[in-house]
Structure 1
Amino acid sequence: MLASGRIGAAAMYFRCFAALSPGEPAGLLGLGHIAVRNDAPGSAITMFARAAALAPDLGRVVLDLGRLCAHDGRTDRAVTALRTALALDPGCVEGWIALAMVIHAAQGPAVSAAAFRRVARLLPEMVSAHLNLGSVLFDSGCWPNAGTSLRHALVLDPAQAYALFQLGRVARRIGQANAACRLLDRAARLEPATSPVAADIVAELALALRDEGRWQDAIRYGRRTAALVPERYDAHLALAAAAEAEGRTAQALAAYERAIRCHPGFGEAFTRRAVLQLRQRWEAPPPRSVAGRSGRRLAATELGCNGRFGNQLLQYGFLRLYAARHDLDLEVPEWVGCYLYDCDDPLPGAPLPRASEEGHDFFASLSGVVPVRAECDVTGYFCRHTAALAPYRTDFRRIFTPGRYLWPRADAIEHRLRARGRTVVALHLRRGDYGWGRFWIAPEEWYLTWLERLWADLDSPVLYLATDAPELAGAFASFSPILATDLGEPLAGAEFFTDFHALCVADVLAISNSTFSFVAGLLNQTARRFVRPDRHRRMLVPYNPWDAEVLL
């Protein structure tokens, strides 16, 4: 009856069967399938769960339960059911694919790689199996392994444009721009112009051409990408880089601004815009020259590309500590730290092999638990638990002492802030480029509740609100908050610095789920209270900046 479309009659018979034979799963399974037909996932899950409880050794039942839970967004339950099904039938391709997909959606590529790897072993002749594995390995920063999987996909299908595209991305990440250009050009020729992937390929090609210094070609493909997708970040990034290289500063700044509007959270456009503007105002210290000691080089050529200010301080601070601890010569490109903190590291020399933080435990290496890694070009975010950095806190803070140009401004910010009250309470509310995945937003109500309990016990308090959404000040009107604009003109290229320094010198600090304010907490030596939002408790909770996860 179900097959013939007589759903109502089928449901009646399945209910009768379930009532007459309560120990048999068939009736419940039938009702579950009817619920699926009726687009009622909650009811379907209930029926399949009851059936699975009656027949826990029936892998297909548990598998269907897991897939239903995944479809309905019940991630933890889906993972449990799928792992149970795979324990019963380790060779179930459907189960491994479903498990890989649900883990990838919930926890990201690095965690899902093992499941995708199992799929590739079970389906060695399927192009998509190797392509999916290569893609998640790429997203995890495991570029050599990603390249192996993608090349396997190309052996099976030499005209697979997406595999060529991903392999081109791998080549660019490991510093092989010329190879990237060839692979991406071939992918662009194979992929139809109407395909959704076409803009991705052309944009990546524009960046590879930029890396090669082929400015006119980069402009041509950057414009082509912008014509396909006007809000494309990397198209404007390539056009901006070409304009900067050709000395067209005004056009470069305008293009970097467009890139930032497309994706405010990405780092490279933020960095280049900041450097161009700061360079017009101040002079960076000349990079130190080093003898190029064999075996003692450590480069970070992507500093300034991965994340914005808070991320960059974590990356640079860690690598400076690492280099000092192991007597290495750190080489970095021009970045905002040159102008704000007088960082004078040598510029990158001859290219070194690329190394992702995913491929080596640099934190364990910092303390000598695992061997030192040198003679490589390191990339990563280094947003690990700060207990590993705690023994070096004095050195970390010393690295980020405001430089000769910045110091008078930093001193003025603190002086004006303390002129408003004896206890500076600083909150960070980040909004503009947040609100998805692990970058969740804590509502201002949590901060208000905390302030209302705290305020009366403070000595002449003043509230400073660090935020990219100044309209939020209205919610805190009863505390008369002050904003960055109340403390002077912003610094062109580093407009964020007033907020950052206020967080660094506050007496009471409430951060957001953001590296910007977390790093300010690491540098703060005056605060006697540190709190942060806790998503599960739905409130602000105390934390120790030097013994905590960077992001929750």
Structure 2
Amino acid sequence: MPPLLQLPPLAAPSASTPSATPSSSDPSSAEEAGEVLTMSCLGSLGQFGNQIFQYAFLKLFSELRGASIVCPDWIGRRAFALHDPLPPREPRLRLPFVADRVVLSHRGWRRWASEREPLASLLRANGGKALSGRALRRDFPQVSGDALSAEGARRLPRGSYDLCGWFQFHTSVWAAHTPRLRELFTPEPALRAALEALLLRLRRGGEGRTSRSPLAVLHLRVAQTRGGEARGEALHAGGGWVSEEWEDRYTFWCAPHEWFVRWVVAEAAAAAGGGLAVVICSDCPHAAEHIASRLPSACCQLRWEDVKGSAEWQAVWEAWRAVFDGHACEPLLRLFLDWWVMTQADRLAISNSTFSFTAAMLNAAGSQQRSVAERAPAFYRPVPEAGGLESFDPWDSKPLLTCAPEHAKALFGGAGSYS
């Protein structure tokens, strides 16, 4: 599996930045004022889409409890200008774990957490023997989706904790926090302005024919997936995560390309004479080329490569370098560009991936551009049981769908090919 994209180093804090306050470098000062929450797994347990869920839970849960937070470095810290206090490098901040219920079932996490409290004490009390899943669920402090309500957030006893997990609850429990989440995950102001100018330049391509066309974005997730099963997403070998113990069967699967072709053909037909501007976001050039070759004539494909030499692209690059203190890298920018353009789409077809699912959640254009009387929702996802893409509500859905063995066999013929 490919390694995680590595963040550039943080620049030394200056007196003008919020992170230079005493609590930014010394979490103990925050702890003296009350409850402190952190999430040491952020940046290690999952890639960007997972990190959106993780940070969102840390932030909302802390606000509901009136707690301070200490947050590890992650992409969003710079891209969204989130100036939370950083944990000290030495000594490490060690707080008792509170787990997302789902993570308790993973052998990799249990092995890693066995040397941390409270699991270390639970194991000692059990004579050093491994605990069953039932015992863990009974005795280990944990949170679920109801922790995102004012009442549910207070059920955990008062104290300072290290939250660990994915927090990918059914999004109906997140819906009440929609305005706050969109506020949190808005790009840094200068970066946002540059991104909007770049998208306008991109849409003026193709002899100007796409500037007023609906923007349809497709996300084709291919890496780290295979027919019916795949290894877990984004495990950092250097951070203590044991990748061979984190296999998630039937969760990381890739829908056949034909499903996306059928969808974009239908969307182009529905766009009438106005045409359709199409952006294909993929971690696999072959997959993107395959879809592009099947686009109907009413579609105009827009590619970042077509504007890479423009003044608008240079402005985005300079803004990106600025938020990363001059240590920016282009692969990280391209990843963020793909995610951000999905938040701007009028029509969005996602993969079974938190990367595009979180973009759908934070997309305001697609959710507002049709009245109730108009024909269809703006968001679509692959559904194995349906054999194609179906409409969904990003704020009332499961973030990931499983592909059961019988559907995997029908889709992929028991092989690892899905093209």
TM over 0.5: yes
Q: Counterpart of 2:7? A: 274
Return the alpha-carbon distance in structure 1 between the equivalents of residues 352 and 379 of structure 2: 13
Q: Counterpart of 2:78? A: 339
Q: Which structure has the larger Rg?
A: 1
Measure how far apart 1:460 and its partner are.
3.2
- Write out per-residue CA displacement over residues 180-216 of structure 1, whole angstroms, 9 at most, x where no aligned residue: xxxxxxxxxxxxxxxxxxxxxxxxxxxxxxxxxxxxx
Contact 1:464 1:482 in 2 (8 A): yes
Return the alpha-carbon distance in structure 2 between the equivalents of residues 473 and 357 of structure 1: 39
Return the alpha-carbon distance in structure 2 between the equivalents of residues 517 and 416 of structure 1: 23
Contact 1:287 1:347 in 2 (8 A): no
Matched, 1:292 2:30: yes
Distance 1:514 1:413, change over 3 A: farther
Return the alpha-carbon distance in structure 1 between the equivalents of residues 177 and 385 of structure 2: 31
Matched, 1:363 2:145: yes
Return the alpha-carbon distance in structure 1 between the equivalents of residues 46 and 31 of structure 2: 30
Q: Counterpart of 2:261? A: 448
Q: Counterpart of 1:512? A: 351
Give 1:396's aligned amino acid: L
Q: Counterpart of 1:409? A: 194
DSSP 3-state at the match of 2:333: coil
- TM-score where L is the length of structure 1: 0.48
- TM-score where L is the length of structure 2: 0.63
Matched, 1:352 2:95: yes
Q: Counterpart of 1:426? A: 217
Measure how far apart 1:355 and its partner are.
2.3
Contact 2:382 2:390 in 1 (8 A): yes
Distance 1:483 1:279, change over 3 A: farther
| Richer in strand (by share) | 2
Percent identical among aligned pairs is 30
Contact 2:145 2:170 in 1 (8 A): no
Measure how far apart 1:372 and its partner are.
3.4
Q: Counterpart of 2:398? A: 549
How do residues 150-189 of structure 1 correspond to structure 2 at under 5 angstroms?
Answer: none
Measure how far apart 1:327 and its partner are.
0.8
Distance 1:380 1:305, change over 3 A: same
Contact 2:379 2:392 in 1 (8 A): yes
Measure how far apart 1:487 and its partner are.
4.2
- Write out per-residue CA displacement over residues 41-60 of structure 1, whole angstroms, 9 at most, x where no aligned residue: xxxxxxxxxxxxxxxxxxxx
- Write out per-residue CA displacement over residues 319-342 of structure 1, whole angstroms, 9 at most, x where no aligned residue: 111111211111111221221011
Return the alpha-carbon distance in structure 2 between the equivalents of residues 372 and 413 of structure 1: 45
DSSP 3-state at the match of 2:365: coil
Matched, 1:372 2:195: no
Contact 2:98 2:143 in 1 (8 A): no
Return the alpha-carbon distance in structure 2 between the equivalents of residues 487 and 379 of structure 1: 40
Give 1:520's aligned amino acid: A
Contact 2:71 2:84 in 1 (8 A): yes
Return the alpha-carbon distance in structure 2 between the equivalents of residues 320 and 463 of structure 1: 34
DSSP 3-state at the match of 2:381: strand
Give 1:512's aligned amino acid: S
Contact 1:288 1:345 in 2 (8 A): no
Measure how far apart 1:289 and its partner are.
4.1
Q: Counterpart of 2:282? A: 467
Q: Counterpart of 1:397? A: 182
Measure how far apart 1:364 and its partner are.
1.5
Contact 2:77 2:83 in 1 (8 A): yes
Higher relative contact order, structure no. (Cα contacts within 8 Å, ≥ 6 residues apart): 2
Q: Counterpart of 2:366? A: 527
Return the alpha-carbon distance in structure 2 between the equivalents of residues 526 and 342 of structure 1: 22
Q: How many residue pairs align between the two structures?
A: 283
Return the alpha-carbon distance in structure 1 between the equivalents of residues 358 and 192 of structure 2: 19
Give 2:145's aligned amino acid: F
